[in-house]
Structure 1
């Protein structure tokens, strides 16, 4: 009697297509196997696509050096120049007015003309004053004639002696004294009339430049009014008034006592030098409201570069520091903790260095503490630099160029 086949055997025959398996079972096994192969191929394809879509990890690069301009810390004589702002003022200013009343017959100057002391400016009608002078002279002549007659009578009374009474003699002597005083008064009237007549010719009281004319030909001027004829300003020499902080008073006073203190006048933007002069006056008190002292400098101003009312910047040299440590003005930076500069080491790394500075002159600043001669600082391009940043020379500042040239000469000398 035949034994029934086990389920495992039926499955094996179905998979292998052995004897005893039906064609339907054989087809089912092959389909299962194909599905398994397709599933494996799909998983492999998906894994490879996902790997291709994921970008590879980028290589981390060091940050590029920051391009800067370098400058060298230098040592040498450094003039102590104090800068300020000031205003040019006329050395003298005169408003020309008439001292008599009358009609203007002549205007002998032009607006803006350079005049000299004694030059004719305006002629006022002199005829009324000439008439007054002539009248005073006539009155004096009359009184002088009466005086001569009175003196003659007095002489006759005196010679008569006892024949003339004492009263007559004394009376005649008093008349002579009276007429003598009258003649003196007449002379005073003549002097006054001559003075008034002289006032009709108005002349320049000083050398200077005339301004706008305030009255025209034919107008009547009055001595009592405040309206002037013209204003004359003296511009050769000329003054500049400026201020300095009270902390600078001692060095200024010391330099002023030692000799002439040079002062330069520049345009208000500091780009063009206008004139050279010297300090002439230190005001006698400090302005407590502003903590400043007013100063006045005098300039020859032969070329009229300075003009009254012009705003200027001043540069006053009060001494020279022989062994001064200096850096370019642009190398000085302002931070929350005060002033500092970026110092570049041999590895081209920038480091913040706190500094204390003094005055500036000609594009350089005096460094009191914090830096040593020969160090290299960043002169320009600090905006992107931080403490420890790697820097590279880009466009050297003027002092930095000298440092680079020295480095090149050193490298050439050390080359075999």
Structure 2
């Protein structure tokens, strides 16, 4: 009995010693704290932010025509050079008119013959009426002569129409420009037979100044844009080169389509702008920017700092070396920046890179990003400038 008690006491002593040893060992090797997360931040700033919508549009001429022969014949003269700028009424080509002038002369001769016959018939009618008044003639002769006069009047009217039609056909042998514009590449050379049915025509002319741009607007913003166009300056647009992002011209909206395309869910809008220097060519694609308003004295952060979440948008703000997740309400945004309505104040350090490894409360090592080219405007500076 005494031996068993001593053995139990020894076992308890050994277990207690082992527990003490393990506790002392853990105390000697504490877990290392995680290193700070490297992030890039930028300070939220206050400035006036214009609301801009951008669309892709196609440059189109206000007028474009294809000159076609209106009478069949041999093309005798081409009086233009490809690429010339031509004026309305300028003669551009001629068609052999000899057969048409002969037809005109025949119509004029027919008219002259019928006019002479009409004059003779009118004299006969006058004499028949005089004889009838003297009881020396009959009513039947007067009626017959009256009918002959009416018939010849109709023949004269028909011949006058034939002469006018022949004159028109002769005029068609001189092909003139109906608009001011830049002429294209000719489709037929002198000496060829041209016909009214030729689909390609002789040459095309395109109006280059002013020029228009047609762009498709989603139905979600179409009504708002149309309403905004009624406000002062609401029709102004900028034409932007898609390659260099440089402004090409300024213009204004002239028309909205009358229905939404059910296939694309968009409606077409046309804007017109001056192109006197002909920097732009019809058919090219451009960007169209339209200002729809402005957020004055708005708190602005880079667009990439705003992250989507299950409960809404949020940003990571750095304070005292730690990151905190802040819910935000976005009033307006574009490709570069976002206007924060609630959640962030001007001067807050907002994470714009490195947020993928962040957790609320994480220690961070910050690097401040350089400021954008456009300087921030403080609320005080804005008030002074307005005064």
Q: TM-score, normalised by structure 1?
A: 0.74
**Per-residue deviation, 1:315:** 0.9
Alignment match, 1:10:
none
Alpha-carbon distance in structure 2 between the residues aligned to 1:78 and 1:116: 45
Specify the structure having the higher radius of gyration (Cα): 1
Asked if the contact 2:36–2:363 (Cα under 8 Å) also holds between the matched residues in 1, the reply is no
| Equivalent-residue separation in structure 2 for 1:402 and 1:225 (angstroms) | 63
Residues 264-284 of structure 1: CA deviation (Å, up to 9, x unaligned): 111224621111111222222
Cα distance in 2 for partners of 1:359, 1:228 equals 52
Greater CA drift, 352-361 or 172-181: 352-361
Give the number of aligned pairs.
344
Change (3 A) 1:360 1:273: farther
Q: How does 1:12-411 map to 2 (within 5 A)?
A: 63=35, 66=38, 68=40, 70-161=41-132, 162-259=135-232, 260-269=234-243, 271-333=245-307, 339-345=313-319, 347-360=320-333, 363-379=336-352, 381-382=353-354, 386-387=358-359, 388-398=362-372
Q: 1:400 to 1:296 in 2, by over 3 A?
A: closer
Question: Which region of structure 1 is more displaced relative to structure 2, 96-105 or 291-300?
Answer: 291-300
Find the residue that maps to 1:181 and give its secondary structure. helix
1:398 aligned counterpart, secondary structure: coil
CA contact (8 A) 1:270 1:313 kept: no
The question of whether the paired residues in 2 share the 8 Å contact of 1:79 and 1:361 is answered with no
Structure 2 residue runs without a partner (length 5+): 1-28, 378-387
* Structure 1 residues 350 and 244, CA gap change in structure 2 (3 angstroms): farther
Residues in 1 aligned to 2:376 and 2:137: alpha-carbon distance in whole angstroms:
115
Q: Which residue of 1 aligns with 2:16?
A: none
Query: What is the DSSP-based 3-state SS (H/G/I as helix, E as strand, rest coil) of the residue aligned with 2:229?
Result: helix
Using a 3 Å threshold, how does the CA distance of structure 1 residues 283 and 205 change in structure 2: closer, same or farther?
A: same
- Give SS of 1:129's match: helix
How many Å separate the matches in 2 of 1:112 and 1:389?
68
Structure 1 unaligned residues grouped into runs of 5+: 1-56, 404-416
> 1-side partners of 2:205 and 2:112: how far apart?
42
Q: Deviations over 1:118-137 (max 9, x none)?
A: 12221111111111111111
* Cα distance in 2, alignment partners of residues 385 and 396 from structure 1: 22
RMSD of Structure 2 on Structure 1 (CA): 2.9
What TM-score do you get using the length of structure 2 for normalisation?
0.79
Q: CA deviation at 1:394?
A: 5.0
Alpha-carbon contact 1:350-1:385 (below 8 Å) kept = no
